[in-house]
Chain A
Amino acid sequence: MEWIKLRTLRSTWWTLAITVAGAIAMAIVIGLNTKNASGDLTNNALAGVIPGLLLTGVLGVMITTSEYTSGLIRATLAAVPNRPLVLAAKAAVFGGVTLALGEAASFIAFIAGGAALRGGIAAPTLSQPGVLRAVVLSGASFSLIGLLGLGLGAMVRHTAAAIGVLVGGVWILAQLIGALAHGAIAYLPISIIANSLATTKPETCGPGAASCPHFLSAWAGLGVLCLYAAVALGVGGWLLSRRDA
């Protein structure tokens, strides 16, 4: 049921297409503008992932909240009274689609970004250390933020409010917490994606830099993101079961 619901909404496909195209476009633009090879070229090529997360996050929210705003939730829960199963099915279908498309976006952006490099700068290849990991884990971040949105949608049930929580929590609150507690920066979703996942060398600060936040290793970062999504889905599922439809 959830697969049919997802694939029969044109707006869903448009949003996903824009996410993928946007990531690739950004990679090309950054590649064209790269002046020298001193930065992390892989990180540059994957910079288009960050804005794309907003789209998949919002999409995840709306997969759930649109059921409440349209009243479809009653038909859904009458059809499948097992409420945790409904949320699990949504997560599986949405998570699967965004994972596949996210990986495609990540790989194509990487290759396009590398191809756009000019001035004799050598493009990074997948066989270099950490590069494949960076590309694969960045691709996964679309899905994880999307699932976070899905869980938030089930918790909040109101589209604008849930998107507010998502954007506020992931982007804005992150800035505030980052300013107040340097150590916590490493655990914030955007930091994780930008610094732990989308890069070949997560811990970029040398031993002498005292005020540099200690970023998580790539796999630890992935684990934390998975934890956020899991908590959001878990709480969302519990609330879905307890509340009236």
Chain B
Amino acid sequence: MRTGQHPRFREGLVIEVRGLTKRYGRVLAVDALSFGLRPGSVTGFLGPNGSGKSTTMRMILGLDHPDRGSAVIGGRRYGELGWPLREVGALLEAKAFHPGRSARAHLAALAASNKIPAARVDEVLGIVGLTSAAARRAGNFSLGMAQRLGIASALLGDPPVLLFDEPVNGLDPEGIRWIRTLMRSLAAEGRTVFVSSHLISEMALTADRLIIIGGGRLLADTTVAELSTGSASLEDAFLELTSGTADFRAKDRAEERNENRASGRTS
């Protein structure tokens, strides 16, 4: 990987999202979301399950069409980028590849699509530690290996902007530490790293800034330090902020007893 600053996006906002809105049928998944991402930092995208994080990332990548608003990268929409994989690398979901193909073939196909030199395929396989498994069918990969393959494809074009959607899902502690270190080193090189998660403690260790979303709406655009002042812990601060916006919440015993009393049932 190259060291030093990426000259293209040194100042200003790299990714700018303005008034992004997306509705699936009757559900408003993303509601007039606006934020900006700066280069050389890891920005965490936090929110409960179903808060619209993945939808937002997909709209940035042009995979889903927003109903209103815009998302631009360096001032251009994703579809207007010359060789998209060389500008933005993304890990959206594990196992987003054909199970019958080898890891190397999967990466080779992606590299060919954006005129990335073939040698880069072996390079990224080495970075993520999949060199020995490169010729194996991707369908036989464990979840950890599949995540690494996804990360390899994100790094393929050596892009200045990286989007990771819940990269630590299914990883063991060693893998979690490895990704955290990787993301921080990518940011130290001047790249922009945008990582979504619902694990606050992990985000606290990885991210410089936090964008917190709930029910599709922006709840906070702040730093880890700012968020945890005034609360007992970061977790408390986060839960306070997002209370009421989680899709499905298990009721705790106290709530259940209250409800039963109110409706006249004995618990």
A interface, CB within 8 angstroms of B: 1-5, 8-11, 66-67, 70-72, 74-82, 242, 244-245
Contact = CB atoms under 8 A, between A and B. Distances in A.
B95 A77 contact: no
Given A5-B98, A71-B95, A78-B92, 7 more contacts: A4-B109, A5-B101, A5-B105, A9-B100, A77-B63, A244-B63, A244-B64
Contacts of A245: 58, 63-64
B100 A11 contact: yes
A1 B121 CA distance: 14
B95 A78 contact: no
For this complex, into which size category does the number of interface residues on chain B fall?
A: 20 to 34
11 contacts: A4-B109, A5-B109, A10-B100, A70-B96, A74-B92, A78-B62, A79-B110, A80-B84, A80-B113, A242-B65, A244-B63
Contact of A79 (B79, B85, B98): B85
B93 A74 contact: yes
B221 to A, nearest CB: 26
Interface of B: 58, 61-65, 78-79, 81, 84-85, 88, 90, 92-93, 95-102, 105, 108-110, 112-114, 153
B79 A72 contact: no
B124 to A, nearest CB: 14
Contact of B79 (A3, A9, A82): A82
A74 B109 contact: no
Interface centre among A1, A3, A75, A80 (most CB of B within 10 A): A75
Nearest to A11: B100
Contacts of A1: 109-110, 112-113
A71 B96 contact: yes
B96 A72 contact: yes
A75 B62 contact: no
Contacts of B95: 70-71
A70 B93 contact: no
A245 B79 CA distance: 14
Nearest to B97: A72
Interface centre among A3, A9, A244 (most CB of B within 10 A): A244
Contact of A75 (B65, B81, B88, B96): B96
A159 B72 CA distance: 34
A81 B153 contact: no
Nearest to B58: A245
A79 B84 CA distance: 6
A67 B99 CA distance: 10
B64 A8 contact: no
Contacts of B110: 1, 75, 79
B113 A79 contact: yes
A117 to B, nearest CB: 41
A4 B84 CA distance: 19
Contacts of A82: 79
| Pairs A-B, 3 closest by C-beta atoms | A1-B113, A8-B105, A245-B63
Nearest to A79: B113
Nearest to B83: A79
A81 B78 contact: yes
B63 A70 contact: no
Contact of B102 (A8, A74, A76): A8
